[in-house]
Amino acid sequence: MKLQKILNRFQKLHPKEIDLSLDRIKNLCEKLGNPQDRIKVISVVGTNGKQSTINAIFSILKEAKIKCNVYTSPHIQKINERFIFNDEKLKDEELIDLFEKIEKINNKNPLTFFEALSACFFYKAAQYPENINLVEAGLFHRFDATNIFKNNLASVVCSISKDHLDWLPENQQTIEKIVFEKTSSLLNSNIIISKQNSNKTTEYIKKTIANNSSNKLFFNEDFSYSNGENGFFYYEDRFGGLKLPLPNILGQFQLENISTAIATLRHLNFDFKDEDIKDGIKKIRTIGRLQEINSGKLKELVKDNRLIIDGSHNEDGSRVLNEYLHTLDCNKHVIIGMMANKDHEKYINNFKDISSLTTIDIPNQPNAISGKELKKKFKNNFKVEYKESIEAAIKSISLNENDLLIITGSLYLAGEVLNLN
């Protein structure tokens, strides 16, 4: 397949998958005419909630008929998910044309895979100068390929927690250091800070951006939400309050992300109505994040029982996942696969009152921990079973009426589940 061959060539341009530096991406973008300087950007940084926040902003702007380009990572099923222009994913043929242009201009110079994709997005985005670009930062942000803008409309700081610690020196694997890496180089424009998992994290953010002259909005200080009744919740900021319908996506934490999205858009004074917000949050599309599977091959295996996939893979993601699970009055069965570089014990520590736990190998992922090794790590916490495949794990679980089956631990695993289904 031609598209895959180009992607394979991109992956061979640099010996490392990740090499935190801005020189290579800046050099290539200069050859491209610095397209990143000609686009309107909302940058989204953080550890958890970035895609959900972007999806909420995107959905509201679509209702308001404001065109968007969207750049996120990683993709769950297909690379096309990372490249949305004029509200639509690029087709394979369009991606091939875009990639070949950038490949030719780069002329085999060293470049990481993510840098290559980022340059492709910037180049294409410049063809839509009036569109709003929603750009998700990659690893840590300070030396990330998305951090080469001279200005932007806003920076959104989602929940920050410990993840990717293997990229930090052992004596710097702290939340304070991660906050510094993610927020110390934010541009001077507008900064909207979502709810954090602790007051300490919020204080670290305030300290790090103290000398940044941006307009700053903090959750619970400048905007907030509260739970309502009968399918509604309430949002409030300096512009007033809104009574809003509950969104079409699962999880209490989504109200935090949606509130951050609303705060961002209202503060930037886009031309939209309250009805666009109300309609937009009922149409948010999310893949692999508390996503319920309602049909397909794997769904048929669980019959009338609920099947949910969730790509959470760190301690904070596990916490919010389990906050949702605790609201459900049913037996919960968990199938889990994880990447090798995650803190497996801290991830599983949030799981309580589950009926069964089954570890699996993640297909097609050489950097995943084997299901057998994962079982050894979890056996002191739970009675754990191991199965080689997703299908074997599902078939091995005895589900009673109203039981829930959730598959979690990795976005890569979520993608494999969706492809199998």
pLDDT in tens, 121-148: 999 999 999 999 999 998 878 999 999 9
pLDDT of residue 289 exceeding 70, the answer is: yes
List where CATH 3.90.190.20 sits in the chain.
291-420
The class of domain 291-420 in CATH terms is alpha beta
Contact yes or no for 406/331 (Cβ under 8 A): no
Higher pLDDT, 170 or 196: 196
Q: Nearest-CA neighbor of 163 among 184, 146, 183, 138?
A: 138
Burial of 408 (C-beta count, 10 Å sphere; 0-12/13-18/19+): buried
pLDDT tier for residue 161 given thresholds of 50, 70 and 90: confident
The pLDDT, as a whole number, for residue 164 is 65
The CATH homologous superfamily for domain 2-280 is Mur-like, catalytic domain (3.40.1190.10)
Mean local confidence (pLDDT), 13-33: 91
pLDDT of residue 252 exceeding 90, the answer is: no
Q: Can you tell me which residue has the tokens 């037996």?
A: 331
Q: Nearest-CA neighbor of 246 among 298, 291, 281, 208?
A: 281
The pLDDT, as a whole number, for residue 19 is 79
pLDDT tier for residue 165 given thresholds of 50, 70 and 90: low
The pLDDT, as a whole number, for residue 163 is 66
- Identify the helix (H) or strand (E) that includes residue 35: none
Q: Can you tell me which residue has the tokens 């091959």?
A: 297
List where CATH 3.40.1190.10 sits in the chain.
2-280
Facing residues of 227 across strands? 233
% of residues, the chain, pLDDT over 70: 99
Pick the range with the lowest mean pLDDT from 162-166, 223-227, 394-398. 162-166
- Record the tokens describing residue 390, joined without a space: 């997703």
Q: Can you tell me which residue has the tokens 């996503």?
A: 291
pLDDT of residue 65 exceeding 80, the answer is: yes
- Record the tokens describing residue 417, joined without a space: 């589940």
- Within 10 angstroms of residue 139's Cβ, the number of other Cβ atoms is 17
The pLDDT, as a whole number, for residue 170 is 77
Provide the Cα torsion 9, 10, 15, 19; round to 10°.
180
- Hey, which of 97-101, 339-343, 377-381 has the most confident mean pLDDT? 97-101
The pLDDT, as a whole number, for residue 15 is 85
Mean local confidence (pLDDT), 150-170: 84
Mean local confidence (pLDDT), 24-50: 97
pLDDT tier for residue 167 given thresholds of 50, 70 and 90: low
Mean local confidence (pLDDT), 331-356: 94
pLDDT tier for residue 171 given thresholds of 50, 70 and 90: confident
Mean local confidence (pLDDT), 71-92: 96
This prediction's pTM: 0.93
